A = this chain, B = another copy of it.
Amino acid sequence: MIKGGYTGKILRINLSNLTTKEEPVPEALVKNYLGGAGFAIKYLYDELKPRVPALSRENKLIFAVGPLTATGASCASRMAVAAKSPLTGAMGMALAGGQFPAEMKMTGYDMIIIEGKAEKPIYVSIIDGEVSFHSAVKLMGMMTTDTQLFIKEELGDWNYRIACVGPAGEKQVPMACIVNERRAAGRKGLGAVMGSKNLKAIAVRGTRKPAVADAEAFKKARAAMLKNMKESPVLYSQFSKTGTPMVVDAMTEMGIYSIKNWSATGEINMVPGLGKAAQDTMIITRNPCYDCPVGCSQVKLVTSGPYAGYLSEGPEFETTYSLGSAVGVDYLPAVIAGDRLCDEYGIDTISAGVSIAWAMELYEKGILTKKDTDGIDLKFGNHAAMIEMLRKIAYQEGLGALLGQGTKKAAAKIGKGSDAFAMQVKGLEMPAYDIRGAKAHGLNYATSYTGADHNRGYAFQEIFDIPIPEKVDRNAIKGKGKLTKWNQDIRAVTCDCAPMCAFLLDMAVPAVACQNTADLVNAVAGTEFTSGEIEKIGERLNNVARLFNIREGFTRKDDSFPKRILTEPIKQGASKGQLISRADLDTMLDEYYAERGWDKNGNPTTAKLKELAIKRD
């Protein structure tokens, strides 16, 4: 059935005994899970024993690309990285772009499964199917850029692409990320899982460009997508010029750009420091992912002042929030410096920044004092303190050791009502959008299998007022269950499995995402997916991930929000007065579960599982 697109091979690497095994990609896997996150989550559900500790050798770390990667379908150099998350205890899955995913595909593998734990620190190189193990003892403690440079030098070919952890991953900080080039599989602590396996890096170099089954059909499907991209009112005109920070101003105007740990959402005085105009002045160039004509990736450089010399790809919209508005810092050079340092240490900018923001609020409330902060004046707006706390998180020093565990666990240790201000769901810190003024976006935070994750069911309808599949009122409660299911399923399959860059879904093909994916995949792989079958794959993924979480002990009560969201209305601005009450949340959850064919407790029904041909563990 499969004639192209896929390499057809899975690489299994056992670090405990330094062996490797190749396995074929089962046709049923392609049919039911398409690729990327679908592959990874299905394998984790099947292969992980229930309740294995996330940082034990029993956890597995999976890298998976999709059928479109490196085929000439634009914007498909994306990989899903997945494991049980040490931050949340739930399914941990994050995507990264850049060059590594395409290069990995060209080594000849659709998926790499890392098992066990190396006795001593190592890194793995893969060149066209040839796997080698190398000591990484000398790389221990190295920042991620230096790590990549030293490995390239040692391998004698600088054209390798490398995914690695920084000091934080080595130290198994639960918010550690995995960095490739200037990109990251950022959230859910996958870097800590990699570190727990004593795996410092994976280096890939490949020349095996996958075949395309039907060149004519592919040309047509590709042209259709490029046309949709060209016709987008924002993709080239704004997004390719400013990147994700283009929406800072709009979110501020809508009153849902979260400020000072969500205590001051609606304030508008940060726009001069963090908004589009400020961002644009610091852009020096782009650094696009492999085969991307848009190039949203803006590189910014600080050329004067205390952070002179710091360069980062980004900061993205989310980092502008977490290291900017969330911590009350409206000085972009500090955000750029913090962004770069997070990439170098290998920690997630969102979880790190939001944890610091939370600590700042506790400090201002007197719950934390200078005794707890090693003398740091941890007030909102103190950017030097923010920079210093990032280092403390990465190296697990003082209060940083606590914050690195994430706000949920840290709040449990600090007590004193601090959990009310811990902006997280299932232990994952919340992204920028203040969901009190964007209810479907909120319902997605509550129900995503990874926790408060904007990437799993982004409600572009609410954020950008796009009437697809229909017009919505962002503050309405009714209809948000149905909408969230649709958003989550479409996104899961098109962005996380195919894979296709999420921004195309939001800005270019929202109405035809599944058809677009079906056309492209069928052309490259010779498959015969219908648009409906593609959407079903997304639904299947969300159900399997739900089953994984249920097995780990998650229930309806975990599909919730911190107290602030439920009880404290936004105090000012265009969304003033908004919150999501307990009753509103329950209404939305009931509708969502019903739409999903799940029972009142959020358990997939037997009928639904049968419909999706999922065998419950």
Residues of A within 8 A of B (CB): 138-143, 145-146, 149-150, 152-153, 157-159, 166-167, 284-285, 287, 301, 303-304, 306, 308-309, 311, 344-345, 391, 394-395, 397
Contacts and interface: CB of A to CB of B under 8 A. Distances in A.
Contacts of A311: 142-143, 146
Given A152-B158, A304-B395, A143 B309 contact: yes
The 3 A-B pairs at the shortest CB distance, nearest first, are namely A158-B158, A138-B285, A141-B303
Contacts of A153: 287
A270 B261 CA distance: 46
Contacts of A150: 285, 287
A166 B146 CA distance: 18
A141 B284 contact: yes
B344 A167 contact: no
Given A159-B159, A167-B308, 18 more contacts: A138-B284, A140-B284, A141-B284, A141-B303, A141-B308, A141-B309, A142-B311, A145-B145, A145-B149, A146-B311, A150-B285, A150-B287, A157-B158, A158-B158, A158-B159, A166-B309, A167-B303, A304-B397
B142 A391 contact: no
Nearest to A138: B285
A145 B301 CA distance: 13
Contact of A394 (B142, B308, B391): B308
Contacts of A284: 138-142
Nearest to A159: B158
A485 to B, nearest CB: 41
Given A141-B303, A301-B142, A303-B141, A391 B159 contact: no
A143 B340 CA distance: 13
A201 to B, nearest CB: 14
Contacts of A303: 140-141, 167
Contacts of A306: 391
A284 B394 CA distance: 20
A308 B152 contact: no
A142 B284 CA distance: 10
Contacts of A397: 304
A219 B140 CA distance: 40
A162 to B, nearest CB: 11
A403 to B, nearest CB: 16
A345 B309 contact: yes
Contacts of A344: 309
8 contacts: A138-B284, A140-B284, A141-B309, A153-B287, A157-B159, A158-B159, A304-B397, A308-B395
Nearest to A143: B309
A492 B89 CA distance: 65
Contacts of A287: 150, 153
A397 B158 CA distance: 36
A306 B376 CA distance: 13
Nearest to A287: B153
B391 A308 contact: yes
A143 B146 CA distance: 14
A306 B138 CA distance: 21
Nearest to A311: B146
A248 to B, nearest CB: 23
Nearest to A147: B311
Contacts of A304: 395, 397
Contacts of A395: 304, 308
A69 to B, nearest CB: 20
A60 to B, nearest CB: 29
A167 B141 CA distance: 27
Contacts of A143: 309, 311
Nearest to A150: B285
Contacts of A146: 311
A301 B558 CA distance: 42
Contacts of A394: 308-309
A395 B303 CA distance: 8
A141 B143 CA distance: 22
Nearest to A304: B395
A600 B4 CA distance: 84
Contact of A167 (B140, B145, B166, B309): B309
A397 B287 CA distance: 30
A345 to B, nearest CB: 7
Nearest to A160: B158
A138 B311 CA distance: 12
Contacts of A308: 141, 167, 391, 394-395
A597 to B, nearest CB: 48
A166 B310 CA distance: 12
A303 B166 CA distance: 11
A27 B294 CA distance: 54
A140 B139 CA distance: 30
A302 to B, nearest CB: 8
Contacts of A145: 145, 149
A287 B154 CA distance: 9
A143 to B, nearest CB: 5
B285 A141 contact: no
